[in-house]
Amino acid sequence: MKEVAIIGVGQTAFVRGYEGSIRELAFDAFREAMQDAGITQKEAEASIFCSAPEYDKQRSPAGVLAEYLGLIPQPTLYVETVCSSSSTGIKVAYGMIKSGLHDVVVVLGFQKMSEITSAESQERMGRGADIQWEAPFGTMMPAYYALYAQAYMAKHGLTHDDLMNVRIKSSTYGVINDRAVYRKPVKPADFKQGDPEAKMAGPVAWPLRVGDCCANADGSSCIILASAEKARALSKKPVWVLGIGAASEAVNMAARPDFTRGLSAGYAAAAQAYKMAGITAKDVRVAEVHDCFTIAEIMAYEGLGFAPMGEGKQLIREKATYKEGKIPVNVDGGLLSKGHPIGATGGSQIRTIVLQLRGEAGPMQVAGEPDIGLVHNIGGVGLYGNVTIFGRD
């Protein structure tokens, strides 16, 4: 199905402490995407803004940002599924275009996390889960993912070294991605228990350590989508949205069926996206998965069908998910190295896949002219699952 295409992508560098307001942050990614698409605001018929609330003070950001970007008086709206907000924005844009309502839609994800402290940020993120029955215990995102890690490691023999190797892979590409917040190489000595110099080794929410967790960052991403007719007219290298899957899951951990099987919403979203695209996991040549924590990448390998249940560890042990491997995953550094400015993350993943399919990913380019790419973007602790599949002509 080649009915909706991406004709422009943009992303800021993800940084600690962006020196500007959310309007200026949004504009940086917007400028790059518009120049990439080679269009002006006159051609953009609607805009969608995506972020997680309560990091900056702006209520109803869509109208404010649309004005700053020069996208008024066109319709605009705000979409939110925490960490997967901009993937959800893409889904909404796809529907608008496929329905014939609009031909060109701008999806802009942004987050300026540095306006609050790290502890405040943990509290906000914890409240992206069950505030009535779980947050009163002092929950936070690393602790939630640690629940999955603990049960998974006990059942499937996944080790701390395996998790470390996910982070080391990530850093391999963080080093060469000039948009990443963490650009230093990571080596096994950084994870050595009991060594005060080992900056990745300290426990955060056991079994997850500092090095198992992605960092907060400020950033924005922008994706411009168009109908087939417009895409053919405007773009030399349109990248087509071939499949979209999205699902949700119970918020409370007490309602989760199985902590050894990964995130249910991820499995469900993958099945839908593969079915819509008419492909299987074997057809994917390059993927971006939601590695907010190292364990999440291992679980994603299985949720996406890259590895059988419990065997995700083999992919990292065999280096199969490196750039030269059979299924390259997060070869832009992923969330672990790029940083995770919540609302911008999905758009950043999509930008990476678009560049890969166009052959424009520079030092991160996967060889062999990949023709199918996949984005896996999770919101909350698997509260929302989003899988989007892309292809080129």
Which chain residues interact with another protein by CB under 8 A?
A: 117, 119-120, 122-123, 125-127, 130-140, 142-143, 146-151, 154, 202-208, 252-256, 259
**Minimum separation from the CB atom of position 392 to another protein (A):** 42
Closest-CA residue to 93 (of 2, 227, 219, 247) = 227
Dist. CA 350–CA 346, nearest whole Å:
6
Active site residue 292: no
Q: Which of 40, 37, 44, 76 is nearest to 60 (CA)?
A: 76
Catalytic member of 102, 160, 340, 376: 340
- Compute the least distance from the CB of residue 151 to another protein, in Å: 4
Q: How buried is residue 363: exposed, middle or buried, by Cβ count under 10 Å (0-12/13-18/19+)? A: exposed
Compute how many other C-beta atoms are within 10 angstroms of the C-beta atom of residue 63.
16
- Shortest distance, CB of residue 293 to another protein, whole angstroms? 11
CB of residue 21 to another protein, shortest distance in Å: 24
**Which one of the listed residues 83, 213, 214, 222 is annotated catalytic?**
83
Separation between Cα atoms, residue 89 and residue 107, nearest integer Å: 6
DSSP lists the bridge partners of residue 392 as 239
Q: Judged by CB, which is closer to another protein: 4, or 299?
A: 299
Which CB atom, from 185 or from 203, has the smaller least distance to another protein? Answer: 203
Comparison of 133 and 360: residue with beta carbon closer to another protein:
133
If the CB atoms of residues 210 and 281 are measured against another protein, the closer one turns out to be 210
Closest distance to another protein from the beta carbon of 260 (Å): 8
Which CB sits closer to another protein, 346 or 382? Answer: 382
Task: Pick the closer one to another protein by CB: 257 or 368.
Answer: 257
Nearer to another protein, 68 or 259 (CB): 259
> What angle in degrees, to the nearest 10, is found between the helix axes of 61-69 and 22-37?
50
Q: By three-state DSSP, how is residue 6 classified? A: strand
CA distance 243 to 279: 9
Integer CA distances (angstroms), 213 to 86, 153, 196, 251, 258, in order? 21, 17, 18, 21, 22
**Rounded CA separation 77/99 (Å):** 17
Q: How far is the CB of 148 from another protein (least distance, A)?
A: 7
Reported in sequence order, the residue ranges of 268-307 that DSSP labels E, i.e. its strands, are: 286-288
Least Å from the CB of residue 203 to another protein: 5
Reply yes or no on whether 340 is catalytic. yes
Residue 139's SS3 state is: coil
Please tell me the distance from the alpha carbon of residue 29 to that of residue 282, in angstroms, as a whole number: 33
Quickly list DSSP for 319-364. Answer: TTTSTTSSS-B-TT-HHHHH---HHHHHHHHHHHHHHHHHT--GGG
Active site (catalytic) residues: 83, 340
